[in-house]
């Protein structure tokens, strides 16, 4: 712990107001420095003109009073709060906390902080939106919750700029950043076909989720168009309990699938547990289970989950770019960005004879034809 000098005692008027300390204001600083309030304001405004002596007096007074320029007051003048709202649901899904952290770090570098709105599963989003609109956030990142057309209209009317991360709406006006749901699901189907499976299944998420719909459609389309028929599909609900129940139904049927695509890693983790503990099925040998996300936990030795990745760095990079374009208000059309991933090969699904290579990070990935 480094030792820093103790600040000077506060003037009595500031230090003692019935037991509560109020933050020092620009007026306090101006009074103590013996300068005008405008001089204080100019000292703290980038590029504004102020003499050396005035600046020195202001800085000394500010340090003594613990004064910080008030971003809230400033936001009323500049229209900028430096705050971005983030709405997130399914926070128990192991993919989301790392995504939130990556967003926080990268937006932090740009001077933005996150006002967090976590939504309980199945909760109505309307009251939260009301709440968000009452705070002056500069933009809103909707993660894993889709904005309906009527709510998008509300945001537009209130001047709130919105982008979707990890889901999309049908509106071309709202920018979205998603992983490669269609490409990834088709790759998973191709991988399972290359490793000689016979009975394909999928545990989906909820139908109101675009990622689940897109993955289901592409997986089904690939299998059907390659003469393998439509997969058995069963609904999960993004909860571990829902996924486990879906797995029990699948595994106790008369024609047990030998290849199960789980809509995301969170679902797959529960399915792995049910396969092993309740049915004595060893993933990768007796049944192939594949996820989607490549959440950090997918690599842990207890899971070794084969999965299609949604690369965090690239997702967050695309998000900050989309945000910058939203905020500078050039009126460029909203982009629908798709970030491609890789089929990361681990132990939970049977491996095909060819196509597995090692990438620059030392991971095994599947690149058919390589």
Residues 100-159 that bind its own copies (CB under 8 A): 100-101, 104-105, 113-118, 120, 130-131, 133-136, 148-150, 153-154, 156-159
Q: Which residues contact 102 (CB under 8 A, 6 or more apart)?
A: 312, 313, 315, 316
Return the residue of 13, 16, 21, 27 that touches its own copies, per CB under 8 A: 21
Shortest reach from residue 52's CB to its own copies, in Å? 23
CA distances from 205 to 322, 328, 354 (A): 27, 35, 31
Q: What is the spatial distance between Cα 299 and Cα 343, in angstroms, rounded to a whole number?
A: 13
CA 91 to chain centre: 10
Return the residue of 47, 280, 331, 369 that touches its own copies, per CB under 8 A: 331
Shortest reach from residue 217's CB to its own copies, in Å? 19
Q: How many helices and strands in the chain, by DSSP H and E?
A: 13, 14
Closer residue to its own copies, CB minimum distance, 104 or 320: 104
Single out the segment in contact with its own copies by CB under 8 A; choices: 99-107, 209-217, 252-260, 358-366. Answer: 99-107
Q: Does 13 bind its own copies (CB under 8 A)?
A: no
Please give the structure tokens belonging to residue 126. 């309307």
Q: Does 279 bind its own copies (CB under 8 A)?
A: no
Single out the segment in contact with its own copies by CB under 8 A; choices: 1-9, 34-42, 223-231, 350-358. Answer: 1-9
- Whether the Cβ atoms of residue 345 and residue 357 lie closer than 8 Å to each other: no
> 240 to 259, contacts with its own copies by CB under 8 A?
none
Return the residue of 13, 16, 23, 253 that touches its own copies, per CB under 8 A: 23
Return the residue of 81, 176, 181, 220 that touches its own copies, per CB under 8 A: 81
Q: Does 92 bind its own copies (CB under 8 A)?
A: yes
Number of residues that bind its own copies (CB under 8 A): 74
Q: What is the spatial distance between Cα 298 and Cα 341, in angstroms, rounded to a whole number?
A: 15
> 288 to 317, contacts with its own copies by CB under 8 A?
296, 300-303
> 158 to 187, contacts with its own copies by CB under 8 A?
158-160
Please give the structure tokens belonging to residue 33. 């420095």
H/E run at residue 248: helix 240-252
- DSSP assignment of 155-196, as one string? HHHTT-EEEEES---S-TTSEEEEE-HHHHHHHHHHHHHHTT
CA 360 to chain centre: 25
Return the residue of 65, 162, 289, 337 that touches its own copies, per CB under 8 A: 65
Q: What is the spatial distance between Cα 59 and Cα 44, in angstroms, rounded to a whole number?
A: 9
Single out the segment in contact with its own copies by CB under 8 A; choices: 29-37, 70-78, 180-188, 284-292. Answer: 70-78
Q: Does 36 bind its own copies (CB under 8 A)?
A: no
């Amino acid at each position: 712990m480094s030792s820093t000098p103790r600040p000077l005692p506060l003037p009595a008027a500031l230090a003692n107001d019935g037991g509560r300390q109020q933050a020092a204001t620009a007026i306090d600083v101006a009074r103590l420095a013996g300068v005008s309030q405008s001089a204080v304001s100019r000292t703290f405004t980038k590029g504004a003109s102020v003499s050396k002596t005035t600046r020195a007096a202001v800085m000394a007074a500010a340090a003594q009073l613990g004064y910080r320029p008030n971003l809230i007051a400033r936001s009323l003048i500049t229209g900028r709060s430096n705050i971005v709202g983030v709405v997130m649901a399914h926070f128990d899904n192991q993919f989301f906390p790392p995504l939130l952290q990556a967003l926080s770090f990268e937006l932090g570098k740009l001077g933005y902080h996150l006002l967090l709105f976590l939504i309980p599963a199945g909760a109505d989003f309307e009251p939260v939106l009301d709440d968000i609109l009452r705070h002056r956030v500069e933009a809103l990142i909707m993660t894993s919750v889709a904005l309906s057309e009527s709510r998008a209209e509300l945001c537009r009317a209130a001047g709130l700029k919105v982008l979707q991360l990890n889901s999309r709406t049908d509106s071309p006006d709202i920018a979205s950043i998603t992983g490669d749901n269609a490409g990834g699901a088709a790759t998973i189907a191709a991988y399972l076909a290359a490793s000689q499976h016979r009975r394909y299944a999928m545990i989906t998420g909820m139908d109101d989720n675009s990622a689940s719909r897109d993955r289901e459609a592409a997986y089904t389309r690939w299998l059907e168009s390659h003469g393998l028929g439509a997969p058995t599909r069963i609904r999960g609900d993004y909860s571990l309990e829902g996924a486990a129940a879906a797995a029990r139904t699948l595994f106790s049927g008369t024609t047990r699938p030998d290849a199960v695509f789980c809509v995301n890693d969170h679902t797959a983790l529960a399915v792995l547990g049910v396969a092993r503990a309740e049915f004595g099925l060893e993933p990768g040998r007796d049944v192939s289970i594949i996820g989607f996300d490549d959440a950090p936990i997918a690599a842990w030795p207890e899971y070794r989950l084969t999965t299609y990745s949604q690369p965090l760095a690239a997702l967050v990079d695309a998000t900050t770019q989309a945000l910058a374009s939203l905020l500078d208000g050039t009126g460029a059309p909203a982009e629908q960005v798709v970030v491609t991933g890789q089929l990361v090969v681990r132990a939970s699904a049977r491996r095909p004879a060819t196509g597995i290579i090692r990438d620059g990070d030392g991971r095994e990935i599947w690149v058919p034809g390589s």
